[in-house]
A = this chain, B = another copy of it.
Amino acid sequence: MRKVKILGLLGTGVIGGGWAARALHFGIDVIAADVKPEMEEWIRGAVANAEPALARLTMAPLPPKGKLSFTTDLKVMAQRADFIQENIPEQLPLKQRMLAEVSRNAAADVIIASSTSGLTPTDLQRDMLAPERFLVAHPFNPVYLLPLVELVGGEKTVQGTIDAAAKFFTYIGMHALHVRREVPGHLTDRLQEALWREILHLVNDGVATTGELDESIIYGPGLRWAAMGTNMIYHLAGGESGMRHMLAQFGPCLKWPWTKLEAPELTETLVDRMVEGTQAQAAGRSIRELERLRDDYLVAIQQVLRQYNIGAGATLRSLEERLYKDAATSHNATPAEPGKPLRLLDTVVRTEWVDYNRHMSDFRYGQVFGDAMDVLFRQVGVDEAYRDSGRMYYTVENHIKHLGEAKSGELLYVTAQVLKVDDKRLHVFQRLYRGRDDKQIATAEQMYLHVDTKAAKAGPADAKIRAKLESIAGQHAGLPAPPEAGRRVGRASH
């Protein structure tokens, strides 16, 4: 099969637009064909809308973007494209007719793929010229962000077609899943459709609203499904003997009316297939090891969702607001001890903080120092209400010195010494320690400026806040000056 430099699109709806955006982004030219000339503007808009998200997917260097052209003449597209992707409405006779026409206009080494959600390739390739180069390549919305593409060959499709298509889709950042047997709906849509039809029943029977049913997924199983499927998840739920135990325990439920879908008989053969399948997936990893992986990604995803205040992230955010409020009103806050730096933060190195070197990335040191300063600011009264009043401290400078390393899972703590406070400026020195050996692994010398955010300029801090900071500075006045402070870069401190 030929190298793909130009992708031809037959049909330009939501799916066609998604294919165009993805291909262009990874340097492939696209020629889109649609009988309706107004679709040119539409597809250009779709590509533009996809770009902001696509631009953030990876920071790796990209080849120059591909060029998009449009034609209402299917033949022109078929003659110029190196790979053709069909995305027209889900009607078998229409798809058969158009695919046959395209096949008569494209060279025999041009792969032709259909985005069909559920029609089978043997039906679709029936009237084509050179049907051996045809396959189903079923993507998921938004095509420009979701990596999955299901590849299904028909009776006349040759293996070389599947292999070459997989290579092309991998090139544009996708995960090609070879579906080895033709069934209506392929694999993914069969699973989605079962869930969807159960939703329709529950709404139809007045049991729940669409919103309640969505909540029933996104706060629970949906979080797990982002990186492990039902089989692996159930393998983990079965304890040390995994899927076999799980099937023994929940097998009887398959007879219960937990869905309107009847289960197959749980024969020995089926149990064996389920167990062998999940053992292959586990690939020698213990239940405990897989649980840790699951827990790691569940924590990390919830922290990402918190940034967007959506789903489980919104729950986490509400929880934290309550915790901060409780901490502020409790009498348990550690008071400043005269003659000792404040211990502000105890934390743990997250797995996703670690770089290729298996040590905490440089910029995460800055994050930990920043989190520690947030604790200090809350303690002296710089909280949400204060910020809402249009006042806050801005970081002006931060000079970090690295003295040691930390690995994933290690405990860390941060202490701070207030060097100087005036009406606008706050000069602080922080030390980051590794919990296991109390080794100091970094220092940070920081200058903050108090700002009136409405006037967008420096302004004096609230008197109460300044007084609290000055009280701390007073307690720190007797501490020795940190040797690392007041030095320029490259000037050794010891």
- In angstroms, Cα B212 to Cα A191, docked, is 12
Interface size on A, residues (CB 8 A): 192
Q: Mark A214-257, 1 if CB is under 8 A from B, else 0.
A: 11111111111111111111101101000100000110011011
| Interchain CB contact under 8 A, A206 and B232 | no
Q: Are B199 and A231 in contact (CB under 8 A)?
A: yes
A-B pairs with the 4 shortest C-beta distances?
A214-B229, A210-B277, A222-B225, A148-B220
Q: Which residues of B contact A259 (CB under 8 A)?
A: 185, 190-191, 193-194, 197, 261
**Chain B hits for A193, CB < 8 A:** 198, 253, 258-259, 261
A-B contacts, 23 of them at CB < 8 A, read: A59-B371, A147-B302, A148-B216, A175-B215, A180-B208, A180-B212, A188-B220, A194-B197, A194-B260, A218-B225, A222-B222, A259-B261, A297-B304, A297-B305, A301-B304, A361-B367, A361-B370, A397-B489, A399-B488, A485-B489, A486-B488, A486-B490, A488-B488
Check A73 for interface membership: any CB of B closer than 8 A.
no
Quick one: closest B residue to A349, CB to CB?
B56
How far is B185's CA from A458's CA once the two chains are assembled, in angstroms? 59
Name the one of B179, B266, B315 contacting A212, with C-beta atoms under 8 angstroms: B179
Which residue of chain B has the shortest Cβ distance to A52 in the bound complex?
B409
Interface residues of A in 417-465 (CB under 8 A from B): 425, 427, 445-447, 453
Tell whether A55 is near chain B: CB-to-CB under 8 Å. Answer: yes
Cβ contacts under 8 Å, A196 to chain B: 230, 234
Most chain B beta carbons < 10 A, residue from A58, A197, A261, A387: A261
Indicate if A327 sits at the interface (CB-CB under 8 A). Answer: yes
A427 to B350, alpha carbons, bound, how many Å?
A: 30
Contact B191 A213 (CB under 8 A): yes
**Interface 9-mer from A106-114, A288-296, A471-479:** A288-296
* A352-406 with Cβ < 8 A to chain B: 352, 354, 356-357, 361-367, 369-371, 375, 384, 387, 392, 394-402
Which of B56, B219, B277, B398 sits near A362, CB closer than 8 Å? B398
Complex contact B197–A274 (CB within 8 A): no
Q: In this assembly, does A163 line the interface, its C-beta being within 8 Å of a C-beta of chain B?
A: no
* Max chain B Cβ within 10 angstroms of own Cβ: one of A214, A274, A487: A214
Besides A57-B303, A147-B316, A193-B261, 19 new A-B residue pairs in contact (Cβ under 8 A), listed by A number: A52-B292, A53-B299, A57-B299, A60-B323, A142-B298, A177-B212, A179-B212, A183-B202, A183-B205, A210-B243, A210-B274, A293-B310, A301-B304, A356-B384, A361-B370, A362-B370, A363-B369, A398-B400, A399-B399
Nearest-CB distance from A440 to chain B (Å)? Answer: 14
Q: Which residues of B contact A225 (CB under 8 A)?
A: 217-218, 221-222, 225-226
A300 part of interface (Cβ distance < 8 Å):
yes
Which B-chain residue is minimally distant from A302 (CB atoms)?
B57
Query: If the complex has contacts A191-B198, A301-B301, A304-B304, are A181 and B208 also in contact, measured as CB distance less than 8 A?
Result: yes
Residue of B whose beta carbon sits closest to that of A189: B258
Complex contact A214–B194 (CB within 8 A): no
Q: How far is the CA of A366 from the CA of B304 in the complex (A)?
A: 19
Does A286 belong to the interface (CB within 8 Å)?
A: no
Closest B residue by C-beta to A13: B239
Which residues of B are found within 8 Å of A264, using beta-carbon distances? 197, 200-201, 204
In the bound complex, residues from chain B placing their C-beta under 8 Å from that of A398 are 362, 399-400, 402
